[in-house]
Chain A
Amino acid sequence: MVSLNPTNQNSLLIRIKIKISQLLLQPSFIIGSILVIILTYLVIAPIISIFSNSVSLTMMDAMLSGGKDGAFTYKYVERVFTSSISEKIFWTPLKNSITVSFFATLIALALGLILASLVTSTNIFGRRYLGFLLIIPYMLPSQAMATAWLTMFKNRKISGPPGMLESFGFTPPDWLAYGPLPISICMALSYFPFAFLLFSSALSKIDIQLEEVASTLGAKTKAIWTKIILPLLIPTTMSVLLLTVARTLGTFATPYILGTPAKYTLLSTSLYSSVRSNESGVVAVLAIVLSLIGVMLLLVDIWVVRKWQRFVTVGGKGIKRQPSKLGLFRTPTTIFAWLIFLLAALGPFVVLALSTLMREPGNFSFSNFGLAYWTGVNVPGMDQPGMFTSPEVLTALKNSFIIAGSASIICGALGLLIGYAVVRLPGTLISGFLRQISFLPYLMPGLAFAAAYLSLFAVARGPIPALYGSISLLILVMVVTYLPYASRSGISAMMQVGPEPEEAGMVLGAGFWRRIVSILAPLQKSALVIAIILPFITGMKELSLVVMLVTPGTELLTTQSIRFLDFGYTQLANATILIIGVVVMISVLILNRVTKTNLASGLGG
């Protein structure tokens, strides 16, 4: 037998010394600890700050009504829920938000499901191209659809150049130009690609053998769909439903552009006007309400996913479903699918582009076309320079690149570092904490998160300077908001690689940095590129997150387009959006090159 001689001479001191030296030798521990400290501040502090703001008296109110600055008060909660203006700032916007979300989600869901079924499982014409083309609306900034709508349907109710239809002599009624109908349609057309992506991937994951069994038992195509495929899609449908609702609630651009002229306020625009009127208490309460709705939707989603887990089918042999022949329906369905592409992607793009090329809207005579709005020469009735010469546009372009660029690089690096710490310290407190905390921003809509950052960084706190009005604040808030995606992909990338390649390097004498440079980085190269380009794309078209944090001088392209719109420079706004669209498209193409896959895996969630 083996000898047993426990050594009791270990003094406590040596044990502690060993423990510390062990931890310090472990790079994952050091990285993990630093991340814990940084993230605690960046994620938890804004949340605390917004809660405290909701119940403490602002300086302004303290001066007006007496009382101490920062004293505990229910004033703002009352103002939002029960006061005489509560109808205007909360209850009506809530009702409107629910209405718009309901219709937008319904349309998006239906479009997504129908188009995904057509593209993955039938022989409609051009299905190979549609798979990619139908995702394009997702890449356009959310205000593209809304401004395109406005460019088309705008009537005399608001200032600026007339809409295209108006110029043709047809005055669109208000209900068609502004308010719930156009908002719902625009949101649906912006968000259906998300449903399309999720349904397509769910459809391609269903084990083809499940269907083959049914057909050997005598089921026709229709029966296979109604009895097997559609029921199996129930969990996906629920997820799509909840996530689309969450997205529509957090969208700012569409209701701002299409709702404001008709005084049709949603929760997001109500929050924004409270920010503009410096009502930080009300802002905090509204932000909390928005976040709570977000959390609720997410919890329901988690519950649904768990409840329907038995529906999860583990992929079969990867055999592709034979596209079913549509026969007589082939042409009509093809027209339908391409029509949606036209309405949601090509149409807005063409409308926006045309509007920037026509001196007078609606005048299709050859002499009316020109680059005036781009070059700034001979701009009719406008005291603004053109796109290429406008200092505002150039600043915004530079800012957009700097902000989205740095945020995405930081995000990508941070994501991999979090992945490293989480995967290499399994079962420890640090690992669990990092996982949870990096997910937390997911629960707050961008607007609410921005409001929290606004209240936190408006003044200097301890060693942290007041960042309001600086580019760093915008970068920071972007990094933290995109962290859930970055850390999720970082963790899965590290999981995929596993510890062995690094351990093999260790055994052969490679130190920590050497392992990072020679082994981990090359192995994670494509993961890193994806982890950088995806947030860059999102950052380039981000509006709701930054709209209340920008100041003159730190405007981004997205916010600049809103400014132009506010001043009635529709063409310049449209041109700005076109620039964003082009930058995003190029990034997507680069991404496709690098990953050699389609976007379906990356853009979801």
Chain B
Amino acid sequence: MSEIKLNSLVKNFGGNSLAVDNLSVTFPSGEFVCLLGPSGCGKTTTLRMIAGLERPDSGEIFCGDQTYFSSNTGEYLKTEKRNLGLMFQSYALWPHMTVFQNIVFGLDMKNESSSEKDKRFEELEKLFQLKNLKNRYPSELSGGQQQRVALARMLAVNPNLLLLDEPLSNLDSNLRLEMRAELKRLHQTLGCTIVFVTHDQMEAMTLATSIAVMNKGIIEQLAKPMEIYKNPKSLFVAKFVGSPQMNIVDFNDGEQLASSLLNKTKFDKNNVKTLGIRPESIKLTSKDNGDINGTIETIQPTGADWIVGLNISGKSIFAISSDQPPGNENDIIGLSFKLDGLHTFDRNDLKLEAD
């Protein structure tokens, strides 16, 4: 159980921009933290720096009262000494070792007795449903089994901190749902701090207890999942989290819609550059009964609800309706906007807060 503190971390791979740009953040102990962002945003680099596989150019990393790295004092703790677990995206199971050998490798490094190893293996075998797989080689396991072995291998040493790199991206969609539940249960049982990296906002929302949205080497926002969704602090976060995406409008592109949205808020047009409205905050009514009229372009029923493509004087947006839409393709209907899904951003793409 340790809190992770990063202080002014900088990492440059020699490109034009920094991979990690002066990053300072604290992940409280026992949290299930997600680093979320598009590829190349520096999330995996950050994870690897915490693991010690990548060295920061400058800055500090602490885990509890241990100093992992400090460019101020020149301290650096080798990966081998950090007592953490890291599960790789590819799992990196050693193909020449059996499931048992893979899992007890960390205990071997600590020179644990073989009875201790057996005991620990049995516990993990039970926890991860690895019955009868003990003597198999990784190539003889299914994708889900491989992942469970990879997790068990890291948990065998009781790490202070568990790091997961894109933990679910190699699984098919059914297995993903199952493993998501498993990881969540695991976090509740173990209570250790987990940091994981993903580009999938759905994975982040469903798993994490807090999400750090990263962009171009900095953290744009660190908050609880629902807070990130309900109250994105920047345009980037607003666009990145949510599916279908938040509808984004500015005055150059969809003047009529933008004005109509702005009317709902108390902001002055001069301060607002961009407006955003979540698809589920658009209510569909009959023509002339809403804030504005629009034409239905497409209707995609998903079973649970309808994703409706709308056109408002040339600007295309999406709405999600839990009721049957009040019209068919090419019909004109009315739209009303709910304030809770409406966001305004200033010239710096930061959220405008109502005072």
What is the interface of chain A, defined by CB distance below 8 A to chain B?
1-7, 9-10, 14-15, 17-18, 21-22, 25, 427, 498, 500-501, 503-511, 514, 518-519, 522-523, 525
Contacts and interface: CB of A to CB of B under 8 A. Distances in A.
B277 interface: no
A14 B71 contact: yes
Contacts of B73: 14
A507 B153 CA distance: 11
Nearest to A508: B106
Given A2-B219, A5-B24, A22-B55, A508 B157 contact: yes
Contact of B53 (A25, A503, A518): A503
A5 B307 CA distance: 45
Contact of B14 (A427, A498, A518): A427
A21 B74 contact: yes
B314 interface: no
Given A4-B24, A14-B71, A501 B92 contact: yes
15 contacts: A2-B218, A4-B22, A4-B24, A7-B58, A7-B72, A9-B72, A18-B74, A21-B74, A22-B55, A22-B76, A503-B92, A505-B94, A505-B105, A506-B79, A507-B154
Closest 6 CB pairs of A and B: A500-B92, A508-B106, A509-B109, A506-B79, A504-B92, A522-B96
Interface residues of B, number: 44
Interface in B47-62: 51-53, 55, 58-59
Interface string B1-43: 0000000100000100000001111000000000000000000
B219 A503 contact: no
B24 A2 contact: yes
Contacts of A18: 71, 74, 76
Contacts of B154: 507-508
Interface in B231-255: 233
Contacts of A2: 23-25, 218-219, 222
A21 B105 contact: no
Given A2-B218, A514-B109, 11 more contacts: A2-B222, A6-B8, A7-B72, A10-B58, A14-B71, A18-B76, A503-B53, A507-B86, A509-B106, A509-B110, A522-B94
Contacts of A9: 72
Interface string B86-122: 1010101111100000000110011000000000000
A498 B88 CA distance: 12
Interface centre among A18, A501, A519 (most CB of B within 10 A): A18
A522 B105 CA distance: 15
Contacts of B266: none
A510 B72 contact: no
Nearest to A22: B55
Contacts of A3: 24
A557 to B, nearest CB: 37
Contacts of A17: 74
B126 interface: no
Contacts of A504: 86, 88, 92-94, 153
Contacts of A518: 105
Contacts of A6: 8, 22
B355 interface: no
Contacts of B53: 503, 506-507
A10 B71 contact: yes
B14 to A, nearest CB: 7
Contact of A25 (B51, B72, B76, B157): B76
B41 to A, nearest CB: 14
Interface of B: 8, 14, 22-25, 51-53, 55, 58-59, 71-74, 76, 78-86, 88, 90, 92-96, 105-106, 109-110, 153-154, 157, 218-219, 222, 233
Interface centre among B14, B93, B96, B233 (most CB of A within 10 A): B96
A461 B86 CA distance: 52
A525 B94 CA distance: 13
Contact of A507 (B23, B84, B233): B84
A1 B215 CA distance: 13
Contacts of B14: 427
B10 to A, nearest CB: 9
Given A15-B71, A508-B106, A25 B79 contact: no
A277 B135 CA distance: 67
Contacts of A22: 55, 76
Nearest to A504: B92
Nearest to B22: A4
Nearest to B59: A7
A345 B55 CA distance: 57
B80 A509 contact: yes
Given A2-B219, A21-B76, A508 B96 contact: no
A7 B8 contact: yes
Contact of B96 (A5, A505, A510, A523): A523
B238 to A, nearest CB: 15
A5 to B, nearest CB: 6
A15 B84 CA distance: 27
A514 B105 CA distance: 11
Contacts of B110: 509
B42 to A, nearest CB: 12
Contacts of A427: 14
A509 B83 contact: yes
A46 to B, nearest CB: 34
A503 B22 CA distance: 25
Contacts of A519: 94
B352 to A, nearest CB: 15
Contact of B74 (A1, A14, A501, A514): A14
Given A7-B8, A508-B157, A523-B96, A500 B88 contact: yes
Contacts of B92: 500-501, 503-504
A605 to B, nearest CB: 28
B338 to A, nearest CB: 28
A1 B157 CA distance: 35
Nearest to A525: B96
B51 A507 contact: yes
A283 to B, nearest CB: 46
B345 to A, nearest CB: 15
Contacts of A10: 58, 71-72
Nearest to A522: B96
B44 to A, nearest CB: 12
A523 B74 contact: no
Contacts of B71: 7, 10, 14-15, 18
Contacts of A525: 96
Contacts of A523: 94-96
A504 B151 CA distance: 11
Nearest to B6: A2
A521 to B, nearest CB: 10
Contact of B79 (A500, A501, A507, A514): A507
Interface centre among A9, A505, A509 (most CB of B within 10 A): A509
A73 B275 CA distance: 82
A542 B88 CA distance: 46
A498 B93 CA distance: 12
Interface centre among A17, A500, A518 (most CB of B within 10 A): A500
Contact of B105 (A4, A15, A510): A510
Contacts of B85: 507-508
Nearest to A521: B96
A353 B91 CA distance: 56
B16 to A, nearest CB: 15
A518 B102 CA distance: 11
B227 to A, nearest CB: 15
Contacts of A498: 90
Nearest to B48: A503
Nearest to B21: A4
B109 to A, nearest CB: 4
Nearest to B157: A508
B109 A510 contact: yes
A384 B91 CA distance: 66
Nearest to A5: B8
A545 B305 CA distance: 78
A601 B80 CA distance: 38
